Amino acid sequence: MGAFGHFLVSHFATLRLEFWGLLVGGVANGLIYGMVAVGYTLVYGVLRLINFAHSEIVMTGGFTSYFVLRGVIGTSIPNGWATVGILVVGMVAGGVSGAVMAMLVERVAYRPLRRRRAPQLAYLISAIGASYFLFNLAGKEFGRVLLSVPQPYVNHPIFSVFGAPVQLYYLVIVIASAAMLLGADQFVGRTRLGRGLRAVAQDSETASLLGVDVNRTIALTFALGGALGGIGGFLLGLGTGVVYTMGFVPALKAFTAAVLGGIGNLRGAMIGGLLLGVVESLSIAFVQPAYIDVVAFGILVLVLLVRPTGILGERLGRAA
């Protein structure tokens, strides 16, 4: 057996030992990626462009819920219903601020360009500018250091999956993001506003002729994606703390997830997120932690080259 064979055997041994633990972490991360990916996929579905400033919406959600939690949580660690209440308050704060920030970005960085029918390159540059402006402004205002978010619970393992302990934090992520993803899916698929959104994604001119307010629908799209991104920011901040650059890497991975599942496809974003989270987490057994981000990026390049339409295919405008 050569050196490479030995490498594989030893790493697969690690993988077998750590499998369930890595899987649990991967699913939790993947659900957050999926939530953030919804923002990319919805905006792409309607405007045919990637919202480069989405990472800063995640950051906004993280910071807002940080300040809210800091205000709500006293000196003692809450438990029971108080914990649930605080988590809900944190999610609402993250979601609302994310939605507001997303609508602001649309209003300031995109709408003037849409009015002038600017070329696509202009949107990308304007959005990158917005992203850089926002996160550096946050860095200036709140300091360029990691702030740890006050914890609304004691993060101990509550049950185990095949011997791998599942911490309360992971359970919170799973419940919150599953609820949000289901909610978004139902909203786009079943409600009147969701129907308008799909109509604009399919054919904005016809939709506007049939009485859909295109500008309002675009704002709604940004708000919905922004709310999920903001809640994703809250969940991320809860685990790792908030810092002005916190949005960048998760958003890049969420974008990968959106492409992986098929951009413009809501369920694709969720599946892509889960898959990316799990694959990335399991790869910890094989690569050094410093190169984990390289794995996600490698997946992105591979998907773009081999199957740019993603797993479920681009399904712009159809029911979720």
Partner 1 sequence: MSRVTLALRSPTSRRLLTSLAAMAVVALMTGPSGSATQPMVGPTGSFGEHVSIFGLFPGPRWLLFFLFALVMWGIWTFWLRRGTSLRAAASTLATPPKRAFAHRPVRWVFYVALIGVGVVFPHLVTSQYWQSVMVEQIAVFVLLALGLNVVVGFAGLLDLGFVAFYAIGAYATAWVTGSLPTPAPFGVHLNPFFAIPVAIALVMVAGVLLGTPTLRLRGDYLAIVTLGFGEIITIFANNLYGITGGSYGSGGVTGKHGIPHFSINLGPIHYRWTLNPVPYYYLILVFVVIFIVAFSLLEHSRVGRAWTAIREDEVAAESVGINPLKYKVMAFAIGAASAGFAGVMTAAQSIFIFPATFTLQVSINILALVIFGGMGSIAGVAVGAMVIQTGSMYLLHSPPSGYQPADLYMYLGALLMVTMIFRPMGLIPSRRRRREIVLTEAGEGHMNEVLSGENP
7 belongs to the binding site for partner 1 (CB under 8 A): no
Taken in order 19, 271, 226, 169, the sign of the CA dihedral is negative
- The window from 6-14, 74-82, 87-95, 308-316 that contacts partner 1 (CB under 8 A) reads 308-316
The DSSP-derived string for 244-284 is TTTTHHHHHHHHHHHHHH-TT-HHHHHHHHHHHHHHHHHGG
Convert residues 245-274 into a mask of x (bound to partner 1 by CB under 8 A) and - (unbound).
-------x--x---x---------------
173 belongs to the binding site for partner 1 (CB under 8 A): no
211 belongs to the binding site for partner 1 (CB under 8 A): no
Which residue, 7, 320, 47, is CA-closest to 189?
320
Q: Which of 121, 156, 209, 211 is the binder for partner 1 (CB under 8 A)?
A: 121
In terms of CB distance, is 151 or 215 closer to partner 1?
215
In terms of CB distance, is 29 or 217 closer to partner 1?
217
What is the rounded distance in angstroms from the CA atom of residue 32 to the CA atom of residue 38?
10
- The window from 88-96, 112-120, 158-166, 223-231 that contacts partner 1 (CB under 8 A) reads 112-120
Which residue, 99, 310, 107, 123, is CA-closest to 225?
99
5 belongs to the binding site for partner 1 (CB under 8 A): no
Cβ 219 to partner 1 shortest distance, Å: 13
Within 10 angstroms of residue 4's Cβ, the number of other Cβ atoms is: 8
Q: Which of 22, 96, 101, 130 is the binder for partner 1 (CB under 8 A)?
A: 130
Kind and range of the H or E element at 3?
helix 3-47
Listed in sequence order, the residues at least 6 apart from 231 whose beta carbon sits closer than 8 Å to its beta carbon are 35, 61, 91, 94, 95, 98, 176, 177, 180
- The window from 27-35, 109-117, 151-159, 269-277 that contacts partner 1 (CB under 8 A) reads 109-117
* Torsion angle of C-alpha atoms 123, 125, 127, 132, degrees rounded to 10: -170
Taken in order 186, 190, 194, 199, the sign of the CA dihedral is positive
In terms of CB distance, is 28 or 199 closer to partner 1?
199
Convert residues 25-54 into a mask of x (bound to partner 1 by CB under 8 A) and - (unbound).
---------------------xxxxx-x--
Convert residues 62-101 into a mask of x (bound to partner 1 by CB under 8 A) and - (unbound).
----------------------------------------
3 belongs to the binding site for partner 1 (CB under 8 A): no
- The window from 25-33, 152-160, 163-171, 203-211 that contacts partner 1 (CB under 8 A) reads 203-211
In three-state secondary structure terms, 132 is helix
The residue with tokens 């979601």 is 95
Binding-residue total with partner 1 (CB under 8 A):
62
Ranges within 271-290 binding partner 1 (CB under 8 A): 288, 290
Within 10 angstroms of residue 137's Cβ, the number of other Cβ atoms is: 12
Burial class (CB in 10 A: 0-12, 13-18, 19+), 118: middle
Which residue, 108, 34, 101, is CA-closest to 265?
34
In terms of CB distance, is 173 or 295 closer to partner 1?
295
In terms of CB distance, is 203 or 213 closer to partner 1?
203
The residue with tokens 């799209």 is 221
**In whole angstroms, what separates CA 314 from the centre of its chain?**
19
Binding site for partner 1 (CB under 8 A): 46-50, 52, 108-109, 112-114, 116-126, 128-134, 136-137, 139-145, 147, 200, 202-207, 252, 255, 259, 288, 290-291, 293-294, 297, 300-301, 304-305, 308, 314, 316
